């Protein structure tokens, strides 16, 4: 054979390698699905993955083996509504007036002093992070808790309901961001043992079965732990049978929650999506027991976080970086390859836009809880926690009717009145507070020994105090604004503000839309295509009319009432503002 005609044999492996790299590049560009599994009222200390083996949690254990356990993850608040305001927006709650628990549904005593039901109004540039995901091609579903201190953006979810699921997306190829909430570990389940929707239904759920569960206010759910299970009761709770039973009930609820998580993970596997999905499991704040929920001790702020990445990436690792809930929205976007908007106050801890410098501090706040008011700010580094009490003249313990439904809380009050509390239990019932508190969380994990006056820690105290002051100024902390005045700012004329009537221009079958309200979002849908699992289309360019079909246009700014305007055959109709539950309540 003529050497000039011989094909070079080295080209084939090179071409094969280039083709492989090209295929990998295309594959890597395919967006990953992201699944948030959110438990309620749960500290990490009581889980196998964090060293407590009393409650069998095979599904969480599997996530921990196949993923990363984050050991220093913290909520911004010890209660759900402010925490979820941050998870939805990427802002600290006290940066935009969402710090009080809660705003959408007030106690009667609050209404008497002018604190009525109200929506917090975020700054005009703020969007719910799920809306940003939708803008970037994701199908978004929420099952089913909202509770953001404002009514959800009507453009935030394709579906937000008890039936919401990634399986409802119209096209299988569409990437999804789906959230499932597990209420079974909530504080109320310490006395109200009703079944939870995703304790374990299959999907699609049986609607009649769900309705029955909603009617069953007190199902008889037995303890799933042995009656003689040896438990370790925190020193600030009753060291007796009532305290022990509270721990067993909490472990039972953890077991039930784990079963619900397992059902969702099974569905992910059934759909062949495990290797295309980032699974994020966490709780919305600390534990359900007295001196846990609502407080800024680690028992109220420290929360578990496990993330499983596709294809075994980082499987079995433990990550000790400080992480705050304010980091979750930019991290969600970063995982999807989307840059976070500049208004977000956290930093991505994973993904394409992962921050180069880890956190040095996390921050927390406590303000009004139901009918009781206080104001505390917290700063924590890896070891030390600083608390600034703005009302040292007020007691630590706030009597809340809701919490006092819990038997273990009733027992604490009985012991207080009988004078039988020990030193640790009695701390919570002190009638005044120190202006500053400092705790060594390594040597004092229950934060019972205030070392703020110890000269050995004066440098630590000064550093954390300075950081607290810096943070308060940096975010323009709204805790210093009287809540009645906040409401007046949000509701200038005593009523919710309206998103302005849109400006609609119709030419040659094209409908162009604009809205003068700063921060208003625009969406649309055709009446013939409406479906519970299909959200409003996000308006990006003039819409093509369909003959004899009603085009509905929605305009909505967060914290305002939204308007809907119809267009049929080139004729614009009136703009209507559908009533929300505040309107119905005030009639």
> pLDDT tens digits, residue range 6-54?
334 434 333 333 333 333 333 456 899 999 999 999 999 999 999 999 9
Per the prediction, the chain carries an average pLDDT of 92
Residue 51 backbone zone (phi > 0: left; psi -120 to 50: alpha; other: beta): left
Lowest mean pLDDT among 205-219, 354-368, 385-399, 429-443: 205-219
Beta carbons within 8 Å of 519's beta carbon, 6+ residues apart: 123, 124, 125, 126, 557, 558
Band of residue 581 on the pLDDT scale cut at 50, 70, 90: confident
β strands within 119-233, DSSP E = 139-143, 159-160, 176-182
Lowest mean pLDDT among 23-27, 258-262, 448-452, 470-474: 23-27
Query: Is residue 2 predicted with pLDDT exceeding 90?
Result: no
| pLDDT value for 199 | 54
Residue with tokens 């305007």: 565
Which has the closest alpha carbon to 230: 218, 215, 216, 241?
241
Residue with tokens 């246009």: 553
Whole-number percent of the chain with pLDDT over 90? 88
- Give me the count of residues in the chain: 587
Distance separating alpha carbons of residues 487 and 149, to the nearest angstrom: 12
The CA dihedral of 20, 22, 23, 24, to the nearest 10 degrees, is 80
Higher pLDDT, 518 or 1: 518
Specify whether the CB–CB gap between 38 and 283 falls below 8 A: yes
**In this structure, what DSSP letter does residue 543 have?**
E
Which has the closest alpha carbon to 39: 89, 67, 65, 73?
73
Whole-number percent of the chain with pLDDT over 70? 90
Distance separating alpha carbons of residues 369 and 46, to the nearest angstrom: 25
Distance separating alpha carbons of residues 574 and 570, to the nearest angstrom: 13
Instruction: Locate 187 and state its tokens.
Output: 């504080």
| 185: helix, strand or coil | helix
Distance separating alpha carbons of residues 426 and 429, to the nearest angstrom: 5
| pLDDT value for 221 | 77
Q: How many CA atoms lie within 13 A of 344 on its CB side?
A: 26
Instruction: Locate 478 and state its tokens.
Output: 């709204």
Query: Is residue 312 predicted with pLDDT exceeding 90?
Result: yes
Distance separating alpha carbons of residues 585 and 587, to the nearest angstrom: 6
Pairing relation of β-strands 503-507 and 436-440? Answer: unpaired
DSSP bridge pairs for 318:
69
Which has the closest alpha carbon to 433: 447, 450, 418, 446?
450
Residue 199 backbone zone (phi > 0: left; psi -120 to 50: alpha; other: beta): alpha
Mean pLDDT, rounded, for 392-413: 96
Interhelix angle for 58-66 vs 241-270, to 10°?
Answer: 60
List the chain domain ranges: 29-92+123-356, 503-586
Distance separating alpha carbons of residues 317 and 69, to the nearest angstrom: 6
Distance separating alpha carbons of residues 318 and 214, to the nearest angstrom: 39
Query: Is residue 4 predicted with pLDDT exceeding 90?
Result: no
Beta carbons within 8 Å of 372's beta carbon, 6+ residues apart: 398, 399, 400
80 has catalytic annotation: yes
Specify whether the CB–CB gap between 551 and 573 falls below 8 A: no
Main-chain dihedrals φ then ψ at residue 406, nearest 5 degrees? -80, 130
One of 23, 80, 468, 515 is an active-site residue; which one?
Answer: 80
Residue with tokens 């360019």: 541
Q: What pTM was computed for the model?
A: 0.93
Which helix (H) or strand (E) element contains residue 379? Answer: strand 376-380
| pLDDT value for 30 | 83
| pLDDT value for 7 | 38
Query: Is residue 83 predicted with pLDDT exceeding 90?
Result: yes
Number of continuous H segments (helices) and E segments (strands) in the chain: 15, 20
Higher pLDDT, 204 or 369: 369
| pLDDT value for 271 | 98
| pLDDT value for 193 | 76
Distance separating alpha carbons of residues 285 and 576, to the nearest angstrom: 38
Pairing relation of β-strands 302-308 and 68-74? Answer: antiparallel
| pLDDT value for 120 | 98
Distance separating alpha carbons of residues 123 and 559, to the nearest angstrom: 9
| pLDDT value for 549 | 97
Write out the DSSP string of 521-556. EEEEEEGGG-BTTB-PEEP-SPEEP-TT-PEEEEEE
CATH annotation of 29-92+123-356:
3.40.720.10
| 139: helix, strand or coil | strand
Q: How far is CA 233 from CA 190, 236, 258, in A?
A: 15, 8, 22
- CA–CA–CA angle 423, 425, 429 (5° rounding): 100
Distance separating alpha carbons of residues 155 and 583, to the nearest angstrom: 21
Query: Is residue 220 predicted with pLDDT exceeding 70?
Result: no
Mean pLDDT, rounded, for 374-401: 97
Lowest mean pLDDT among 113-117, 214-218, 257-261, 454-458: 214-218
Write out the DSSP string of 188-236. GGGT-----HHHH--SS--HHHHHHHHH-TT-----SS-TT------TT
Main-chain dihedrals φ then ψ at residue 19, nearest 5 degrees? -65, -40
Which has the closest alpha carbon to 562: 502, 506, 488, 491?
502
Q: How far is CA 358 from CA 264, 441, 460, 463, in A?
A: 32, 20, 19, 18
> Which pLDDT tens digit goes with each residue over 108-133?
999 999 999 999 999 999 999 999 99
């Amino acid at each position: 054979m003529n050497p000039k005609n011989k094909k070079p044999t080295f080209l084939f492996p090179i071409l094969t390698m280039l083709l492989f790299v090209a295929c990998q590049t295309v594959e890597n560009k395919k967006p990953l699905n992201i699944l948030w599994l959110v438990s309620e009222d749960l500290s990490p200390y009581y889980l196998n993955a964090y060293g407590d083996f009393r409650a069998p949690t095979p599904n969480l254990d599997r996530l921990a083996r196949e993923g990363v356990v984050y050991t220093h993850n913290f909520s911004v608040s010890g209660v759900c509504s402010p925490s979820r305001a941050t998870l939805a927006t990427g802002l600290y709650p006290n940066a935009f007036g969402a710090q009080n628990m809660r705003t959408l549904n007030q106690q009667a005593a609050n209404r008497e002093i002018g604190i009525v039901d109200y929506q917090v109004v975020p700054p005009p540039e703020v969007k719910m992070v799920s809306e940003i995901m939708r803008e970037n091609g994701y199908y978004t579903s929420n099952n089913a808790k909202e509770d953001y201190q404002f009514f959800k953006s009507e453009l935030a979810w394709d579906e937000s309901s008890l039936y919401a699921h990634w399986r409802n997306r119209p096209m299988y190829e569409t990437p999804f961001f789906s959230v499932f909430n597990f209420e079974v570990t909530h504080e109320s389940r310490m006395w109200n043992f009703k079944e939870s929707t995703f304790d374990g239904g299959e999907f699609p759920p049986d609607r009649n079965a769900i309705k029955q569960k909603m009617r069953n206010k007190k199902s008889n759910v037995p303890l799933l732990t042995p009656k003689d299970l040896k438990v370790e009761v925190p020193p600030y709770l009753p060291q007796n049978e009532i305290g022990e039973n509270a721990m067993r009930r909490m472990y039972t609820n953890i077991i039930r929650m784990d079963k619900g998580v397992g059902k969702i993970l099974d569905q992910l596997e059934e759909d062949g999506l495990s290797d295309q999905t980032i699974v994020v499991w966490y709780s919305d704040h600390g534990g359900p027991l007295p001196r846990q929920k609502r407080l800024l001790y680690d028992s109220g702020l420290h929360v578990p976080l496990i993330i499983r990445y596709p294809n075994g990436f980082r499987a079995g690792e433990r990550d000790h970086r400080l992480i705050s809930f304010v980091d979750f929205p930019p991290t969600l976007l970063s995982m999807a390859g989307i840059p976070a908007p500049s208004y977000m106050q956290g930093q991505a801890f994973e993904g394409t836009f992962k921050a180069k410098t880890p956190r040095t501090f996390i921050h927390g706040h406590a303000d009004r809880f139901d009918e009781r008011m206080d104001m505390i700010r917290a700063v924590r580094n890896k070891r030390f926690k600083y608390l600034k009490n703005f009302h040292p003249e007020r007691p630590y313990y706030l009597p809340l009717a809701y919490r006092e439904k819990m038997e273990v809380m009733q027992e604490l009050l009985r012991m207080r009145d009988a004078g039988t509390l020990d030193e640790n239990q009695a701390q919570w019932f002190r009638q005044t507070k120190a202006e500053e508190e400092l705790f060594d969380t390594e040597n004092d994990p229950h934060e019972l020994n205030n070392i703020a006056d110890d000269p050995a820690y004066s440098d630590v105290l000064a550093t954390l105090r300075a950081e607290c002051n810096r943070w308060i100024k940096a975010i323009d902390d709204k805790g210093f604004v009287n809540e009645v005045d906040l409401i007046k700012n949000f509701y200038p004329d005593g009523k919710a503000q309206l998103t302005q009537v849109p400006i609609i221009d119709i030419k040659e079958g094209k409908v162009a839309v604009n809205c003068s309200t700063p921060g208003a979002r625009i969406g649309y849908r055709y009446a013939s295509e409406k479906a519970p699992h299909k959200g409003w289309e996000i308006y990006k360019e003039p819409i093509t009319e369909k003959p004899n079909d009603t085009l509905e246009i929605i305009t909505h700014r967060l914290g305002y009432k939204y308007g809907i305007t119809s267009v049929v055959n080139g004729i614009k109709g009136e703009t209507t503002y559908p009533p929300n539950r505040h309107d119905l309540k005030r009639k």
